[in-house]
């Protein structure tokens, strides 16, 4: 039995198509919201939200890259891409507020975030080594021990993706609430911020679906193959 199976691509097709659609939605909604003015830059909006939450110690830095925005829980730094850091647009303040939401989650010990951060090393290890063991087990004439060890390690990736969903959705909810409460975005303008954040959330849903379908494909395939 060869390892490469064209049926795998049919198996994960729903996740792949959802991911493509999500990327198209991000480009469209981001482009629309980027053309609409906001009273503050992304950096200023993030700073105001962090300060209001008592997180003056969390720095806001500009980093290179397109939409490379993220919060680093280890160094307590919120890093924004140039177009988000500098721009005074609804897209910029929405994304910056989302990342500030992660900083607030970290400060409040939001349980799903704590779990996600704890699982990151296992997920990274499982993503690389897990699939390698599955491939190696298949090459070595269906070595069941290696295959199931690899599948077990890859399960950490699925767990990470599942836990990551409430983290991302909650950060977006915090962002929208803070933007309105602080008067950075009006309720009429919030719809454009919501479009951007909802499109971004779809990419996480697609990644989670792909991980789950990949795991199911491995289990179904090698459970059947072990009986050949």
- Find the helix or strand (DSSP H, E) in which 169 lies: helix 144-181
| Tens digits of residue pLDDT in 180-224 | 999 999 989 999 999 999 999 999 999 999 999 999 988 888 876
Asked, for residue 21, whether it belongs to a domain, the answer is yes
Give yes or no for residue 144 having a pLDDT over 90.
Answer: no
Distances (CA, A) of 113 to 55, 94, 120, 219: 17, 20, 11, 28
Residues 51-80 pLDDT 10s: 999 999 999 999 999 889 999 999 999 999
Range of the domain at 55: 6-225
Tokens (6 digits) for 87: 């721009």
The answer to whether residue 99 is catalytic is: yes
Contact yes or no for 31/23 (Cβ under 8 A): no
| Number of independent structural domains in the chain | 1
> Catalytic one among 32, 61, 83, 99?
99
Residue 61, in any domain of the structure: yes
Mean pLDDT of the chain: 91
- Tens digits of residue pLDDT in 23-42: 999 999 999 999 999 999 99
What is the C-alpha separation between 35 and 90, in angstroms, rounded?
8
Q: What is the pLDDT of residue 61?
A: 97
60 lies in a domain?
A: yes
Q: Does residue 32 belong to any structural domain of this protein? A: yes
Poorest-pLDDT segment among 98-102, 104-108, 139-143: 139-143
Q: The pTM is what? A: 0.88
> What's phi and psi for 89, nearest 5 deg?
-135, 160
Query: Residue 22 domain-assigned?
Result: yes
Could you tell me if residue 1 is inside a domain? no
The verdict on residue 188 lying in a domain is yes
């Amino acid at each position: 039995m060869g390892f490469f199976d064209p049926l795998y691509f049919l198996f994960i097709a729903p996740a792949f198509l959802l991911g493509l659609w999500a990327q198209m939605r991000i480009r469209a909604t981001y482009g629309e919201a980027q053309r609409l003015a906001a009273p503050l830059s992304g950096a200023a909006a993030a700073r105001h939200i962090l300060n209001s939450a008592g997180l003056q110690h969390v720095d806001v830095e500009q980093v290179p890259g397109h939409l490379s925005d993220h919060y680093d829980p280890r160094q307590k730094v919120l890093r924004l891409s140039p177009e988000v850091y500098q721009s005074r647009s609804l897209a910029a303040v929405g994304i910056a507020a989302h990342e500030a939401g992660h900083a607030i989650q970290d400060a409040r010990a939001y349980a799903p975030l704590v779990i996600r951060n704890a699982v990151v090393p296992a997920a990274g290890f499982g993503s690389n080594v897990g699939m390698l063991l599955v491939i190696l087990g298949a090459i070595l004439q269906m070595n069941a021990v290696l295959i199931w060890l690899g599948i077990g390690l890859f399960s950490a990736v699925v767990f990470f993706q599942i836990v990551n969903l409430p983290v991302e959705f909650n950060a977006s909810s915090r962002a929208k609430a803070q933007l309105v409460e602080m008067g950075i975005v009006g309720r009429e303008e919030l719809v454009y911020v919501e479009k951007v954040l909802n499109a971004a959330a779809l990419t996480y849903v697609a990644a989670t679906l792909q991980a789950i379908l990949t795991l199911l494909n491995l289990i179904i395939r090698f459970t059947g193959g072990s009986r050949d």
